[in-house]
């Protein structure tokens, strides 16, 4: 597996990241972009949104751990977050 980007932490066996945006619309647009990619990859994040904050946890439930699917989705999230 590739190295984890420094913006991600390991929390309770999951990749975890929290992001803050200018407003709710920007946060929701970000989540929509991720949702499109996640659906194509058939790998979906655990996440929540409160106003301008998005909290994301990634784990592969089938193996109860982190796999390349999670790392790939984390990399896509990183690219969309910049």
State phi, psi for 21 to the nearest 5 degrees. -120, 175
Q: Are 53 and 27 in contact (CB under 8 A)?
A: yes
Tokens of 79: 């690219």
Q: What is the pTM of this model?
A: 0.89
Judge contact between 26 and 52, C-beta under 8 A. Answer: yes
> What domains sit in the chain, N to C, each tagged with a CATH number?
9-81 (3.30.1360.20)
Taking the C-alpha atoms of residue 50 and residue 48, their distance in angstroms, rounded to an integer, is 7
d(CA 65, CA 23): 32
Per-residue pLDDT of the chain (82 residues; tens, 9 = 90+): 455 567 999 999 999 999 999 999 999 999 999 999 999 999 999 999 999 999 999 999 999 899 999 999 999 999 999 8
């Amino acid at each position: 597996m590739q190295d984890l980007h420094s913006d991600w932490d390991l929390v309770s066996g999951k990749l975890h990241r929290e992001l803050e945006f200018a407003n709710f619309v920007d946060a929701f647009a970000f989540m929509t972009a991720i949702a499109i990619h996640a659906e194509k990859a058939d790998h979906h994040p655990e996440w929540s949104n409160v106003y301008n904050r998005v909290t994301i946890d990634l784990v592969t439930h089938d193996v109860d751990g982190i796999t390349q699917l999670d790392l790939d989705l984390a990399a896509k999230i990183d690219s969309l977050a910049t």
